[in-house]
């Protein structure tokens, strides 16, 4: 929330010095907007300053929460409709403004049958002005200011509020574009899962979190003989296999697990706060589902299997290259042992140096957890 204390008389003097076709914006308001970090920061700052700039008893911002509802996200002043309340789009003034993208002003709320107007009236707000937050035919929500007397708003107030709302809409639109660009930068374009760069960043973030955990699992997954699929059916078929495989990954693993495509047919999983047995179960379940989910094409049916090399560790240290090396050795053992199987080892020493290992110095002879009824690849 903004921390600056504003003198209402100063704002009033500032407003009076402006002609009706100009908008005077306090410098501190612009400073706070420029230093905002998120869209929610912008919304809270705007609610605070609109309350001051428009000498209102109430200023609020509602945003869409779905096809039929709007929610009060930020509020300053009178709480006749408090933060967190969901308002229906139908039968409300705010919903109509959101739907049509057109400003509405009601200078006597006692004459309105709209649900939100009646709620404001019960809270001693007699006039309100509602402006849409729109950019490029996209409406984010609305800004509403209210006053405790009738006939409190005029055409100049509407123009001023609309003008500042355009600025706020542009900032929110830029914030949304930034989020979209961040998603594009972090996502594998074919499968929609994380790419290697984003995975490593989020893995590092997880390592810096200090929380108790039952353990952590890291798995490297390689689709068996994937080149044969591309050679026999073409790259479009290979792409379809990768996409289908990622759907299965999302279905098997938990929503907070990191799932990434490292390149080609190689994938990596990071499951935090998970026991050895639970991690083993998820890996085996993945192979079971993959075996029972062939992919049909006009040219025929593709049966895909995968090999998995995985490690489980009690304490996580931000040295992914060391952990990756252990998982890669386990993956080599899974392929060497016939493919379509899991090689899961427990790190008996944290990978702080090159001497870390699994149960034995020779990882391929360490205790193995093989998927049920392993098939030769």
Which residues are known catalytic residues? 265
CA pair distance 284, 301, nearest whole angstrom: 23
Distance in angstroms (rounded) separating the CA atoms of residues 159 and 131: 10
Tokens of 23: 């908008």
Write the Ramachandran bin of 257: left for phi over 0, alpha for psi from -120 to 50, otherwise beta: beta
Confirm if 180 and 143 have CB atoms less than 8 A apart: no
Name the one residue in this structure whose structure tokens are 């139908």.
Answer: 90
Q: How far is it, in rounded angstroms, from Cα 377 to Cα 336?
A: 10
Buried b (16+ CB within 10 A) or exposed e, 92-125: bbbbbbbeeeebbbbbebeebebbbbebbbebeb
Distance CA 1, CA 348 (A): 48
The Cα–Cα gap between 16 and 294 comes to 73
With H, G, I as helix, E, B as strand and everything else as coil, classify residue 251.
helix
Q: Which contacts of 237-243 are long-range, i.e. CB under 8 A and separated by 24 or more positions?
A: 237/295, 237/297, 237/299, 237/302, 239/190, 240/295, 240/297, 241/295, 241/302, 241/304, 242/190, 242/191, 243/190, 243/191
């Amino acid at each position: 929330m903004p921390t600056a204390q504003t003198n209402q008389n100063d704002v009033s003097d500032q407003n009076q010095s402006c002609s009706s076709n100009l908008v005077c914006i306090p410098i501190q308001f612009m400073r706070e907007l420029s230093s905002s970090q998120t869209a929610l920061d912008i919304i809270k700052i705007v609610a605070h300053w609109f309350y001051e700039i428009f000498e209102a008893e109430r200023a609020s911002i509602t945003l869409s929460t779905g096809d039929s509802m709007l929610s009060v996200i930020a509020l300053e002043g009178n709480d006749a409709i408090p933060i967190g309340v969901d308002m229906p789009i139908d039968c409300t003034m705010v919903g109509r403004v959101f739907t049509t993208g057109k400003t509405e002003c009601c200078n006597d709320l006692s004459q309105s049958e709209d649900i939100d107007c009646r709620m404001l009236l019960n809270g001693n707000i007699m006039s309100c002005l509602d402006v849409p937050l729109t950019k490029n035919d996209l409406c984010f929500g609305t800004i509403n200011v209210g006053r405790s007397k009738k006939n409190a708003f005029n055409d100049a107030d509407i123009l001023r509020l609309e003008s500042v709302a355009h600025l706020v809409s542009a900032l929110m639109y830029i914030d949304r574009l930034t989020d979209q660009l961040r998603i594009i930068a972090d996502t594998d374009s074919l499968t929609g899962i994380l790419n290697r760069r984003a995975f490593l960043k989020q893995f590092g973030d997880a390592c810096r979190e200090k929380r108790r955990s039952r353990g952590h699992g890291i798995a490297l997954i390689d689709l068996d003989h994937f080149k044969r699929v591309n050679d026999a059916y073409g790259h479009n078929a290979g792409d379809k296999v990768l996409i289908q495989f990622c759907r299965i990954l999302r279905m098997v693993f938990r929503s907070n697990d990191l799932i990434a495509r490292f390149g080609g047919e190689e994938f990596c999983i990071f499951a935090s706060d998970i026991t050895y047995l639970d991690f083993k179960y998820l890996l085996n379940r993945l192979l079971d589902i993959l075996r029972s989910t062939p992919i049909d094409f006009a040219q025929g049916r593709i049966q895909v299997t995968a090999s998995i090399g995985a490690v489980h560790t009690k304490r996580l240290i931000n040295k992914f290259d060391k952990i990756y090396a252990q998982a890669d050795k386990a993956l080599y053992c899974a392929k060497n042992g016939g493919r379509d199987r899991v090689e899961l080892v427990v790190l008996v020493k944290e990978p702080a140096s090159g001497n870390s290992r699994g149960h034995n110095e020779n990882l391929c002879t360490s205790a193995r957890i093989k998927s049920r009824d392993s098939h030769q690849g």
